[in-house]
């Protein structure tokens, strides 16, 4: 019984690492082969997550890989699109606010923890 649970967990990690790594490999190839800035690539991947969610293609990836698909920036697009889709079931106003409420916990945590880290650590300028 314990061996099968460990094998199941190991398989879950392998799937997450493989899918998340594949997303990162695609990003690295784009960085190496184009002159796009990091910001443009981030927006591209976020919008890709939105479009793939709207087409119903990202949910199977999330079901298969879990955090391997939701942790990269394309997962943020998935989160926004999912919130908007679920909100649209209630009405037009909720279609706009659904994505905001879906992402609010993660964004709030990022802001709060960033503030705490800024109090604990002091940045320094890079010396030439």
Structure confidence by residue, pLDDT tens digits, 71-126: 999 999 999 999 999 998 998 888 888 888 888 888 899 899 999 999 999 877 77
Q: Helix (H, G, I), strand (E, B), or coil: what is residue 55?
A: coil
The interaxial angle of helices 73-88 and 38-54, nearest 10 deg, is 40
Q: Helix (H, G, I), strand (E, B), or coil: what is residue 66?
A: coil
pLDDT at 33 (0 to 100): 95
- Give the closest residue to 20 by CA, choosing from 63, 57, 71, 58: 71
CB 84 within 8 A of CB 104: no
The rounded distance, in Å, linking the Cα atoms of 18 and 13 is: 8
Cα torsion through 32, 35, 38, 41, rounded to 10: -80
Give exposure, 2-29, as e/b (b: 16+ Cβ within 10 Å).
eeeeeeeeeeeeebbeebbeebeeebee
Question: Region 36-46: what's the mean pLDDT?
Answer: 93
Greatest Cα pair distance, the chain, in angstroms, is 58
pTM as predicted: 0.79
Answer whether residue 36 shows pLDDT above 90. Answer: yes
Task: Burial-class residue 69 by CB neighbours within 10 Å (0-12, 13-18, 19+).
Answer: buried
Average pLDDT in the chain: 91
């Amino acid at each position: 019984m314990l061996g099968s649970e460990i094998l199941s967990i190991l398989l879950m990690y392998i799937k997450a690492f493989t899918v998340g790594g594949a997303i990162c490999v695609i990003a690295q190839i784009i960085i190496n082969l184009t002159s796009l800035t990091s910001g443009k690539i981030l927006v591209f991947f976020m919008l890709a997550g939105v479009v793939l969610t709207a087409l119903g293609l990202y949910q199977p990836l999330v079901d298969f890989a879990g955090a391997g698909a939701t942790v990269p920036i394309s997962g943020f697009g998935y989160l926004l699109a999912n919130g908007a889709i679920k909100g649209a079931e209630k009405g037009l106003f909720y279609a706009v606010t659904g994505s905001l409420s879906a992402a609010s916990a993660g964004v709030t945590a990022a802001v709060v923890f960033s503030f705490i880290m800024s109090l604990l650590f002091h940045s320094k300028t890079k010396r030439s």
